[in-house]
A and B are shown apart, each in its own frame.
Chain A
Amino acid sequence: MDNSERTEKRGGGGVFETSAGASSKPVQYRMRLFVAGDEPNSTLARKNLKDICESELKGNYSLDIIDVFEDYAPALDENILVTPALVIDHPKKMKIFGNLQDKSKALSALGVK
């Protein structure tokens, strides 16, 4: 992670990275990951999303991680009924439920591949 990355915290979950990326104005991805503390699938989803961000998004993203154990109201606002759930706000509104083990599905939703 370089110095331009910003971090945010939402719902106690913690944002681990954002980035301003490549020179030709790359797409900026805005995402929110809803997790349930350190439950097994939530931990797995964090790891899988981190891998995707590092390998595919090259720092061009912002990510909020929201822990429903601390506050589940944002999840209800977003109509999130189960966690983990990834909400892609930009470039295209999408929701992916599950632990993101299926990497191709996540990349497809992001429009990367």
Chain B
Amino acid sequence: MKKGKPTYKELETKIKETKEIIDALQNGQADVVISNEKVLVLRLKEAEDALRESEYRFREFFKTLSVGVVFQTPPDGEIIDVNPAAESLLGMSRDELIGLKPSDSRWQAVDDDGAAHDIEDNPALEALKTGRVIRGRVIGVYQPKQEQRRWLQIDAVPQFLPGADTSHMVCAVFTDITDRKLAEDSLRDLNETLEHRILERTAEVRDQSDRLRALASELSRAEQRERKRLAMVLHDSIQPLIVAARMQLWEIKRKSESQKPVAMKIEEILTEALTALRSLSVDLVPPELQHGGLMSGLKWLAAQMREKNDFIINTMLDKKLEPAAEETRFLLFECVRELLLNTVKHSSVKEAEVLAAEGPDNCIRLIISDRGKGFDPAVLKQNRSNQMTFGLFSIQERLAHIGGHMEIETGPDKGTKVILTAPLSDSTAGAPETHCEAPDGGQDGGGIELRRKRDLIEVLIVDDHKVLREGLVRLLKFESGIEVAGEASDGEQAIRMADTLKPDIIIMDVNLGGIDGVEATRRILAQNPHIKVIGLSMHMDRHTADAMRNAGASAYLTKGDPSEELIATIHDCAAA
């Protein structure tokens, strides 16, 4: 190449060549550009072809999509492109849609809840503003072709140019969910109607239940009134008439020797009738119950059953536990009488216990227990028709109406324990209405809490002090899940009873006469290693505690410890 200043001709040639090069580059006829360093390959045509192909594919895809797609630009979300599905869904042509903004009144837009659409919540504008993808926004828009509102579910996806922080465009994709929305709305309306109806029905049922309860209470009171009236009629009218008749017979006997045998026979019959009437009168309204209260009534009942049925009832009653409402006193009395008659008929034993204690929530608890045949609790669930089960359900129903309930713990050959709970206060006399909470964990027996006795922890109480034994019995009798299997007053008796009763737990007083608690424990556990022994003594004495532990006792407590601790220890030992 020549050095120095180029000639005009050379410059002209150079310009021509440069123009040729530019033309070649512009027309895509150049393959490479050569520089001092390297050869740069140009594939502009291929890139153009690829771009064209990509654009074609995109356009085809865009056209054939069944979901509506619109592209919108900032700042007002003006529409710059739409696909045919969007035209169809929105009921407007491409020309009508291009340039339209979300704020345009033609949309007549409403939000999901039917309120006028707030432009601040427009998904496309929000996506443009925040740069975040907005999904699942539901908007209703007026569709002019169908002249009705269509519901659209919209996703708005902001678009960014490489390296840009702010979105230059948003792609809004939407589907028509009108059918689904209308179905959901009608379902919601239906649900609201149903809920409303259920509320109405529930109120009706509650009302009926209240009326039923009031009726049951009234029935119970009417029964008592009738019992009293009948007793009064018997006492004030019939019995005097019989007495008067008998007096007339005395006259006949005195005046006529021939009529005397007949008169004596009639007198005998009248005397029998009088006795029966007196008994009936007392049965109808026991004076002890009416005048002395529930506890006196129960004591009288125990004496009556011993006398009439040769059935022993041991009572542990508390005069302080007197329900304020007469209705409750009479009802509890009748329930206990019915349960004891069941025991007489079905238990095959001659002895039962009736205990009274104060329950939680200002309630009285009456426990009626026997060690007889018991029964399978499943019977109560399966059969309500026989006399016994019907009677039990009837007791539960009547108790429920005064805010009480019944629990039954039983099992074949495991005896039966029935706990009746009722409010002590009188809601009819202005006291707040009390509902005695039923304990958890029982099987559902139509409102009756049922527990199978084999699940109970059987406890033998060993103490040479009768008062302490009775205190422990009273404590444990009312503890759900625990059954007092027996009581022993000395070491020898404890060893014998452990062999025969096979209890789960023995509460062993350490200081016993004869064989003491330590030795009794050793001997019992040698024969019955499955039994758990809880040592009990008046004072905490390390030496005694060690001796009991060495004998095999599982725990050791003092008689001064809280009763909750003893109960918790029993449960812990049984679970161990």
Contacts and interface: CB of A to CB of B under 8 A. Distances in A.
Nearest to A43: B31
Interface string A68-107: 1100100110011111100000000001111101000000
B31 A72 contact: no
Interface stretch (A9-17, A34-42, A51-59): A34-42
A69 B39 CA distance: 7
A97 B21 CA distance: 6
B30 interface: yes
Contacts of A36: 31-32, 39, 41
Given A39-B41, A68-B39, A99-B29, A80 B24 contact: no
B431 interface: no
Contact of A97 (B23, B28, B39): B23
B295 to A, nearest CB: 115
B31 A42 contact: yes
Given A72-B39, A83-B30, A83-B31, A40 B45 contact: yes
A41 B21 CA distance: 14
Contacts of B35: 81
Interface in B518-564: none
Interface residues on A, range: 20 to 34
B33 A82 contact: yes
B31 A81 contact: no
Nearest to B22: A97
A36 B40 CA distance: 10
Given A83-B30, A83-B31, A98 B20 contact: yes
Interface string B216-248: 000000000000000000000000000000000
B29 A98 contact: yes
B576 interface: no
A42 B41 CA distance: 12
A68 B31 CA distance: 11
A81 B447 CA distance: 102
B31 A40 contact: yes
A36 B42 CA distance: 10
Contacts of A97: 17, 20-21, 23-24, 29-30
A76 B30 CA distance: 16
**Chain B interface, >50% SS class:** mixed
Interface of B: 1, 17, 20-21, 23-25, 27-36, 39, 41-42, 45-46
Contact of A98 (B23, B32, B39): B23
A36 B20 CA distance: 18
Nearest to A75: B34
Given A41-B29, A99-B29, A81 B34 contact: yes
Contacts of A75: 34
Which 6 A-B pairs have CB atoms at the shortest separation, nearest pair first?
A39-B31, A98-B29, A98-B24, A82-B30, A36-B32, A97-B20
A97 B29 CA distance: 8
Contacts of B32: 36, 39, 68, 82-83
B30 to A, nearest CB: 4
Given A36-B41, A39-B41, A68-B39, A81 B20 contact: no
A86 to B, nearest CB: 10
A72 B36 CA distance: 9
B22 to A, nearest CB: 9
Contacts of A42: 31
Given A40-B45, A98-B23, 16 more contacts: A35-B31, A36-B32, A76-B36, A81-B21, A81-B33, A82-B25, A82-B31, A82-B42, A84-B30, A95-B20, A96-B20, A97-B23, A97-B29, A97-B30, A98-B30, A99-B29
A99 B34 CA distance: 16
Given A40-B45, A41-B29, A68 B34 contact: yes
Contact of B30 (A41, A72, A95): A41
Contact of B1 (A40, A41, A79, A82): A79
A51 B492 CA distance: 132
A83 B289 CA distance: 126
5 contacts: A40-B45, A75-B34, A97-B30, A98-B20, A101-B29
B412 to A, nearest CB: 99
A41 B23 CA distance: 14
Nearest to B45: A40
Contacts of A39: 31-32, 41
Contacts of B34: 68, 72, 75-76, 80-83
A75 B35 CA distance: 10
B287 to A, nearest CB: 125
Contacts of A80: 34
A83 B1 CA distance: 20
Contacts of A95: 17, 20
Nearest to B1: A79
Contacts of B45: 40-41
A98 B27 contact: yes
Contacts of A35: 31
